[in-house]
Amino acid sequence: MTIDPKLIGIGAAILAAVLVVYMPVNKRRVNQTIVALVLAILIFVAAFSFLEIALALPVAAGVTLVVIVLRFVLGGLQSFIYRNFTRYLRRDYWQRRVGQSIIGSGRRRRRN
Protein backbone atom coordinates (compact mmCIF):
# COMPACT_ATOMS: atom_id res chain seq x y z
CA MET A 1 0.00 0.00 0.00
CA THR A 2 1.43 3.36 -1.01
CA ILE A 3 0.30 6.83 -0.11
CA ASP A 4 -0.40 9.22 -2.95
CA PRO A 5 2.26 11.99 -3.12
CA LYS A 6 -0.50 14.58 -3.60
CA LEU A 7 -2.00 13.54 -0.26
CA ILE A 8 1.38 13.95 1.44
CA GLY A 9 1.73 17.38 -0.20
CA ILE A 10 -1.71 18.47 0.98
CA GLY A 11 -0.93 17.33 4.52
CA ALA A 12 2.43 19.12 4.51
CA ALA A 13 0.86 22.32 3.15
CA ILE A 14 -1.91 22.28 5.76
CA LEU A 15 0.55 21.58 8.58
CA ALA A 16 2.85 24.37 7.38
CA ALA A 17 -0.07 26.81 7.23
CA VAL A 18 -1.14 25.84 10.76
CA LEU A 19 2.41 26.30 12.06
CA VAL A 20 2.76 29.70 10.37
CA VAL A 21 -0.46 30.94 11.95
CA TYR A 22 -0.38 29.34 15.39
CA MET A 23 3.28 29.04 16.44
CA PRO A 24 4.38 31.90 18.70
CA VAL A 25 6.88 34.37 17.30
CA ASN A 26 8.23 35.25 20.74
CA LYS A 27 11.88 34.20 21.06
CA ARG A 28 11.49 33.39 24.75
CA ARG A 29 8.62 30.96 24.24
CA VAL A 30 9.80 28.93 21.24
CA ASN A 31 13.14 28.44 19.54
CA GLN A 32 12.54 30.20 16.23
CA THR A 33 15.29 28.28 14.41
CA ILE A 34 13.48 24.99 14.97
CA VAL A 35 10.19 26.51 13.80
CA ALA A 36 11.88 27.91 10.68
CA LEU A 37 13.48 24.54 9.87
CA VAL A 38 10.21 22.63 10.29
CA LEU A 39 8.38 25.19 8.14
CA ALA A 40 11.05 25.02 5.44
CA ILE A 41 10.92 21.22 5.34
CA LEU A 42 7.13 21.18 5.12
CA ILE A 43 7.08 23.84 2.39
CA PHE A 44 9.68 21.95 0.35
CA VAL A 45 7.76 18.66 0.75
CA ALA A 46 4.54 20.33 -0.40
CA ALA A 47 6.25 22.03 -3.35
CA PHE A 48 8.01 18.86 -4.51
CA SER A 49 4.79 16.86 -4.35
CA PHE A 50 2.79 19.34 -6.43
CA LEU A 51 5.33 20.78 -8.90
CA GLU A 52 8.12 19.54 -11.11
CA ILE A 53 11.58 19.65 -9.55
CA ALA A 54 12.83 22.45 -11.81
CA LEU A 55 9.93 24.67 -10.75
CA ALA A 56 9.51 23.38 -7.19
CA LEU A 57 12.97 24.36 -5.96
CA PRO A 58 12.75 28.14 -6.61
CA VAL A 59 9.09 28.28 -5.57
CA ALA A 60 9.77 26.48 -2.28
CA ALA A 61 12.85 28.62 -1.58
CA GLY A 62 10.93 31.82 -2.27
CA VAL A 63 7.93 30.84 -0.16
CA THR A 64 10.18 29.73 2.69
CA LEU A 65 12.09 33.00 2.61
CA VAL A 66 8.88 35.05 2.57
CA VAL A 67 7.37 33.08 5.48
CA ILE A 68 10.49 33.37 7.64
CA VAL A 69 10.87 37.10 6.95
CA LEU A 70 7.18 37.74 7.69
CA ARG A 71 7.42 35.82 10.98
CA PHE A 72 10.51 37.88 11.91
CA VAL A 73 8.70 41.13 11.07
CA LEU A 74 5.61 39.99 12.98
CA GLY A 75 7.74 39.24 16.06
CA GLY A 76 9.36 42.67 15.87
CA LEU A 77 5.99 44.36 15.44
CA GLN A 78 4.54 42.44 18.37
CA SER A 79 7.49 43.42 20.55
CA PHE A 80 7.25 47.06 19.43
CA ILE A 81 3.54 47.23 20.24
CA TYR A 82 4.05 45.68 23.68
CA ARG A 83 7.02 47.86 24.61
CA ASN A 84 5.49 51.13 23.47
CA PHE A 85 1.75 50.79 23.97
CA THR A 86 0.13 47.86 25.72
CA ARG A 87 2.44 47.49 28.71
CA TYR A 88 1.09 50.77 30.08
CA LEU A 89 -2.41 49.32 30.00
CA ARG A 90 -1.49 46.31 32.11
CA ARG A 91 -2.29 46.35 35.80
CA ASP A 92 0.93 44.61 36.89
CA TYR A 93 3.05 47.33 35.25
CA TRP A 94 1.43 50.06 37.34
CA GLN A 95 1.38 47.94 40.51
CA ARG A 96 5.10 47.37 40.11
CA ARG A 97 5.78 51.07 39.46
CA VAL A 98 3.68 52.27 42.41
CA GLY A 99 5.02 49.53 44.68
CA GLN A 100 8.62 50.43 43.89
CA SER A 101 7.99 54.10 44.58
CA ILE A 102 6.29 53.32 47.91
CA ILE A 103 9.01 50.94 49.05
CA GLY A 104 11.69 53.29 47.84
CA SER A 105 13.54 50.90 45.62
CA GLY A 106 14.49 51.87 42.13
CA ARG A 107 14.15 49.77 39.06
CA ARG A 108 16.16 46.63 39.38
CA ARG A 109 18.32 45.42 36.55
CA ARG A 110 18.53 41.82 35.55
CA ARG A 111 21.89 40.15 35.51
CA ASN A 112 22.78 38.58 32.21
- Between 9 and 99, name the one with better pLDDT: 9
- How is the chain split into domains, by residue range? 5-103
Range of weakest confidence among 18-22, 42-46, 102-106? 102-106
Q: Say if pTM beats, i.e. exceeds, 0.75.
A: no
**pLDDT tens digits, 67-82:** 999 988 988 888 888 8
- Reported in sequence order, the residue ranges of the chain that DSSP labels E, i.e. its strands, are none
Cβ-contact 72, 26 below 8 angstroms: no
What pLDDT is attached to residue 110?
A: 61
Pseudo-torsion of CA 17, 22, 27, 32, nearest 10°?
Answer: -30
**pLDDT tens digits, 10-40:** 999 999 999 988 888 777 778 888 989 999 9
